[in-house]
Chains A and B, each alone.
Chain A
Amino acid sequence: MSTITSSHSRRSATTYINPANGYNRRKTINVIMLVLTGLLTLLALVPLFWIVSYIFIKGSQYLTPSFFTQLPRPLGMPGGGVLHAIEGTLLLTFLSALFAIPPGVLAAFYTAYHPQTPLGIAVRFGTDVLSGVPSIVIGIFGYALIVKPQGHYSALAGGVALAILMVPTIIRTTEEMIKLVPQSLREGALALGSPEWITSFKVTLPAALSGIITGFMLSIARASGETAPLLFTALGNDRFEIGQLIRGGIQNKDSILTILGKILDQPVDSLPLTLFKYTQQPYPERVNQAWTVALILMGLVLLTNLIARVWVIIRTSSN
């Protein structure tokens, strides 16, 4: 407020001589700046449409059913797909969700109900710090924590690295959603003699569920597009095929646990990892395939995002 009054008194001399003069200038500045904000908003959206349209045009050229069902062929041979990367992405995303969601939700229950205890404050701060840690640092951490002691790269290490990346988002969104549930609901259940954990599972969690799931979807979408944490954990493996592993396991009459262990224990590829590797190669064929991989990846990530966000908009506007 004080800035306005002072600027008025500063300009009062000119305004006094010719009121229309300063007024016109101010009005012109006003219009110019307001138009500028609109133009910049349009400018910021240019890359979105530029990227999406280019990926659609270039990526759809190679988009055939076999691209989803076949492993890559050696260079020079036409065809081939990225089945290994699709399966790897699904496996890694599943693993990371498995490792990140239960601890994240439990920790969120703690921070939501104990915001003022030292541990609650510390965990909130820790979550903030963790969400700011660069993904490449998490990759190095995953390498030092799992790959180095085990002596080999694995899907497990990749899943853990992605989970560390997801956990802060999951804690934060779950905590926000739990806090939105009216306290009276919880108190009602507790007053009826329900133990706290049943109250949390059967009353609080269902009431907050749609918001929590939105948070899951957004963090899963983010994790499935990440590359940096996987470079030194999942590494990449263009012969990875879950179907073949299972078939081989059944032939050897291995137990389910052995097969599962085999799947988790070897390096896997993922869509972003494959995309990155293909662009680093000097072969135009691989680069063309990279655009198609980008199309699949974008489809996966943007669709998940769009569904989650539109759902939020619908939910909040209907309330």
Chain B
Amino acid sequence: MKKKLLSGNEAVALGAYQAGATVGCGYPGTPSTQILENFRNYKDVYTEWSTNEKVALEVAIGSSLAGARTLFTSKHVGINVAADPLFTLSYIGVKGGLVVVTSDDPNMHSSQNEQDNRNYALFAKMPMFEPADSQEALDFTKLAFELSEKYDTPVFLRTTTRISHSKTVVEDTETKTEHKVTGFDKNPKKYVMIPNYARARHFDVEKRIVDLVNDSSNFSINKTEIKDTDIGFITSGICYTYVKEIFPEASILKLGLVYPLPEKLIRDFCSKVKKVYVVEELDPFFETQIKAMGLNVEGKNLFPITGELSPDAIKKAFGKESLAKKADINIQIPARPPALCPGCPHRQIFAILNKLGLIVSGDIGCYTLGVMPPFSSMDTCVDMGASITVAQGIEIALKQKNKVVSVIGDSTFAHSGITGLINAAYNRRNLLMIVLDNGTTAMTGMQPNPFSGETINLVPTMSIDYEKLAGSVGIVAPNFRIVDAYKPEDIEKTIKELMDSEKISLLVVKGPCVILKRKKK
């Protein structure tokens, strides 16, 4: 037994390794990124940054069906990208255990929405674990692999930013389960989801959930602590730690398995405790289901549905005052929002776009900060890859050819921008698409991607040739251009020329990320 200080993400990686997982795939996304960055360092494992989450999950499915225990990681919105394979994966089940990590971001520290991915567990009919600290992240990951094989189901492991990025003490048993990769067995009724076979599998899925509901009241990760029987809480994950902090004497039902709910255990708890509160971040996911059991609990009438909870949010819901000293300091301080780094290669282009007064359809990455002053030059940002496609819709509706440009980073372009590029060419659009190539996936901490010429393990590999890619959809010089990110005159002149041409164009603005440059020194 060795004591270690691990982040939730490090603990998930260690848990997967110790469970005998040999394949890990995903796409970088805060707060999940460091799981695979740690997993790749273990011996005899294969890890990849896949092109996007859909691709990653499909690779994971193949690996599981060939018998390997497999880890898939994603941020919450990445599960949207992977949702198509996910729902059918639930029907197919697994061979080697398959754990799907969703790292949610309540309060949107680094995200475009704060969707509560516990809903995916219910929607896709997959069990979901939620740890409350790094020790549980380690233990639950191992357990998730076992449960996955036992119930023939992919298993969700949900973390939130506070779990992924907090470091807590872990007792590491330093023991590893060896999982033999037994190979692919042909089984079309289970693996080929034509309607006839899928209908039969749906029965298996429903039975699996019923079995899990029955069994989960005995799972040790669902823990009842009966103390004061006047007041009790049903909670999970990080919220459990907040409740313990503020109400150390209260009774608690802590759910380690957040879907499906252990109905018997919940009924027992509610019968023993007079007043029961449900404490959960974001949606009333437990509360709605518990109320549907006919039980009398309170929750979102007291606690906010938006943002993160905290020990103080729970205090305030119960009318407890903060004891902070009231200071007499009437100095106004300006906000300090994140901004593009000094020397960032994206700064020039956004200054120019601001000057030209175009409609700028933006995308997800550091460069989304181009929306902030002094650049103030981004007009839409929806999801990964949407810059190119949203711009097409604007062009169609406006019936004007030289009003809108799209701006996307290299990694995002590879993730899901290229399908939009094809759509633009195929449907005869006249759009200027700008790729900001800084040689890395910067926002999530410098991960290589299909444009950067190396893999997650920094092994040299191909990098997509912009010119050939553009040429393959009919975009050639002078409507295909590459300019230096640090030559503003060239950028401005080129944008004007390409806009004036009123033809579909691809402009690559190249300049390495300043943080990456510093790291490589």
> Do they bind each other?
no
